[in-house]
């Protein structure tokens, strides 16, 4: 009986230790992101985006961890690459990808923005690559693919085929069991989502299933009930605060 109590006590103590370690690690990630939000050299628009993007909560929802190798697809000007750089810490790596289109769109503004962000090696664990999804050099080497606010562009301009081609390239990049993290602006059926820069949540889920992912969870962390989904995401007052969905899926083992 005495031995049973001792074993029970030991088990409880080790659980407390393991739990507090997990909390510590999470707090460290949160502290690193918080510090980065206040870092010098961020893009001039980053601060405007912070409140509406809830970077710490989003990183937690998707399961970003210290030391991970992460691929930030369609990084644009690199807002998320910078957050992910802090989240994975100095032992992690962030590959920040843009397709060749970035060199032409908006006169290359996003390309120039990420180059400025990375100037003087200010994010030492970020590797910027301009490569189309199908030509990416990764095979089963990425822990987590982060694809924010770009699936609607690919789907609305190139249809299901283009979206599936990109998702399959990301699936190939991921390690078995790796995480596919998607965020996008919610659209509803019947609206001109191409003009509004939105996509239906059901379409995201359908595409992920067709590309061979297993859906794990959806989150309304970035929800906005005042957004009726009928206006462009660039509408004054709505921009940066649209109703957005997060979908976490996994590459099967
Ligand atoms: C709104 S930005 C998102 C950037 C980044 N992921 C973020 O969350 O800050 C969308 C990106 O998609 C790219 N893009 C726009 N139209 C596209 C298209 N038709 N196909 C692929 N990419 C496109 C642009 O270069 C831009 O950098």
Structure confidence by residue, pLDDT tens digits, 51-103: 999 999 999 999 999 999 999 999 999 999 999 999 999 999 999 999 999 99
Exposed e or buried b per residue across 176-191, where buried means at least 16 C-beta atoms within 10 angstroms of its C-beta:
eebbbbbbbbbbeeee
User: What is the number of the ligand 1 atom nearest to the C-alpha of 162?
Assistant: 20
Q: What are the strands of the beta sheet with 69-73, ordered from one edge?
A: 126-130, 93-98, 69-73, 142-148, 174-185, 244-250, 214-219
Nearest CA to ligand 1 atom 4: 76
Q: Would the CA dihedral through 217, 47, 186, 165 be positive or negative?
A: negative
Q: What's the CA-to-centroid distance between 198 and ligand 1, angstroms?
A: 12
User: In ligand 1, which atom is closest to the CA atom of 154?
Assistant: 20
Pocket test for ligand 1, best of 151, 153, 196, 232 (most atoms within 8 A of CB): 153
pLDDT digit string, tens, across residues 146-202: 999 999 999 999 999 999 999 999 999 999 999 999 999 999 999 999 999 999 999
Query: How does strand 69-73 pair with strand 93-98?
Result: parallel
Show the domains of the chain with their CATH numbers.
2-250 (3.40.50.150)
3-state SS class at 217: strand
| 22 pLDDT tier (thresholds 50, 70, 90) | low
Cβ of 164 below 6 Å from ligand 1: no
């Amino acid at each position: 009986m005495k031995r049973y109590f001792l074993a029970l006590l030991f088990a409880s103590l080790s659980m407390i230790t393991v739990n507090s370690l997990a909390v510590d690690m999470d707090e460290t990630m949160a502290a690193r992101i918080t510090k980065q939000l206040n870092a010098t050299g961020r893009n001039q628009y980053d601060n405007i985006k912070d409140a509406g993007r809830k970077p710490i909560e989003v990183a937690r929802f998707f399961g970003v961890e210290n030391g991970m190798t992460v691929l930030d697809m369609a990084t644009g000007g690199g807002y998320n690459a910078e957050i992910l750089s802090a989240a994975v810490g100095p032992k992690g790596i962030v590959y920040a990808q843009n397709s060749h289109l970035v060199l032409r769109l908006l006169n290359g503004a996003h390309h120039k923005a990420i180059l400025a962000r990375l100037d003087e090696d200010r994010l030492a664990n970020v590797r910027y690559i301009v490569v189309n999804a199908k030509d990416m050099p990764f095979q089963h080497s990425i822990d987590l693919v982060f694809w924010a606010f770009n699936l609607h562009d690919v789907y609305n301009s190139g249809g299901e085929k283009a979206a599936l081609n990109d998702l399959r390239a990301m699936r190939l990049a991921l390690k078995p069991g790796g995480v596919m993290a998607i965020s996008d602006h919610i659209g509803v059926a019947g609206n001109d989502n191409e003009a509004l820069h939105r996509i239906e949540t059901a379409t995201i889920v359908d595409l992920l299933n067709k590309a061979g992912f297993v859906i794990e969870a959806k989150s309304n962390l970035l929800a906005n009930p005042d957004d009726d989904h009928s206006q462009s995401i660039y509408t004054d007052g709505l921009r940066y605060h649209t109703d957005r969905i997060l979908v976490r899926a996994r590459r099967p083992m």
